[in-house]
Structure 1
Amino acid sequence: MSGDLAARQEALVAALTGGAPIPDGFDARLVGVARQALLRKRAGVAARHWPMLAAGYGTGWTGAFAAWAARRPTAGGLRDGWDFARACGTRGPAAEEELARREAAWVYDGGSEPRPRRFPAVRRTAEVLIVQVAGRTFTRRR
């Protein structure tokens, strides 16, 4: 019995967070409402980690992020925002700088946890040059 319950719970979590089909015996409308609420919450968490990225999308942030995230299980706000920025792009120079600054300071391959960069790195945007050396980040405006 507990194995069956665990399998049903796993199927429900996958439906709520990863876009899997709704398991038998659950109200599709209510699961859909819960899924949308979780996607809005997830967008808020990502926005706290990536404020300039979210600001670049303005009032369309939650919808754009939710549409992107609907078929992807969460990896946490930091990684979700990073993956979204790489997949959907940034809007505005502040968001571009935010992404460039993170990519200069951290190594993130899209799969494992981000970790501090050990070697020097340079990232450019249209407006800034960012150099990371020995854990310190330097910015030069163009």
Structure 2
Amino acid sequence: MTQSLTERPALRGRWPWSRRTSRLSDITAAVVLFLCEIPVIVWKVFGDGMAVWAAQGEQDRIDAANLASIAWNQQFLYVALALVGLAAVSRAPWTVVSQLLVAGLLGAMLANAQHVYDVEHPAPAPTPTVLYTPCLSGSGTCH
């Protein structure tokens, strides 16, 4: 005689991803997060501009402010991407879209800030080695 295995009842409603988030709460969360994050970004950009202005041309202070801005943008981008993941797990499509917009904005700002910093701070020229000696006018090293 064989025994049949009893089926386990489905755990409905226990996990946030077990059913889709209601449209009203999804749109509410999307709008609230978007309206909270955008002023924070605007205030941070204003603060970074004021820090550069307060440096009064001192390149060390300007570089420190720019590097701090890049680090803050990276961290805030990670937070926005974590919220995208949380919204995706919660099956909240409008929140995912709004957070992807914020993450895209932060990614563009971060790429621009890093590009500007790299352009302003090029890598130093390579030092001459035994295998390579630059040909300088009047140096007698040109072959």
- Asked if TM exceeds 0.5, the reply is no
Which band: TM-score by shorter chain?
under 0.3
**Which of 1 and 2 has greater Rg?**
2
Q: TM-score, normalised by structure 1?
A: 0.25
Q: TM-score, normalised by structure 2?
A: 0.25
Bigger share in helix = 2
Bigger share in strand = 1
Q: Which structure's relative contact order is higher, taking Cα pairs within 8 Å and 6+ residues apart?
A: 2
